[in-house]
Amino acid sequence: MLIDGGTASAAEILAGALQDAHRAILVGDRTVGTGTVLGEFPLSDGSALLLAVDEWLTPAGHSIWHKGIAPDVAVPLPPQVMPMLPERERGFSSAELKASRDAQLLRAVELLSERKSGA
């Protein structure tokens, strides 16, 4: 599973749960570290105040808030390289994918290939 500094909220909670259950290898950078549940408190002028009222923990009890989820395989995205997005990469050939320079995605593909071949 690819994670990075843009992985937050439900995606971050799912990443932590899959990591704790040893159901996925997390590849990329540390996640945002949101990990809180916001409660809405209406104000008399019609606006509202959102406050953190609860904290998400991974199934193993690890806190996410302000810490994020660390990847199993740390792979920083090189500067000036935009991460690949499904709508961009759909239909890419193997050569085009390699030329993308998305080190995180390429490492994840490499790990999947190794698992598939039993290496």
Q: What does the pLDDT look like over 69-118, one tens digit per residue?
A: 999 999 998 888 888 787 877 888 888 888 888 899 899 989 988 887 77
pLDDT confidence of residue 119: 60
pLDDT confidence of residue 48: 97
Give the integer Cα–Cα distance in Å for 88 and 7. Answer: 19
Where exactly does CATH 3.90.226.10 map onto the chain? 1-74
Give the integer Cα–Cα distance in Å for 94 and 110. Answer: 12
Mean local confidence (pLDDT), 38-63: 95
pLDDT range class, residue 12, cuts 50, 70, 90:
very high
Give the integer Cα–Cα distance in Å for 4 and 84. Answer: 12
**Of the options 3.30.70.260, 3.30.70.600, 3.50.50.60, 3.90.226.10, the CATH number for the domain spanning 1-74:** 3.90.226.10
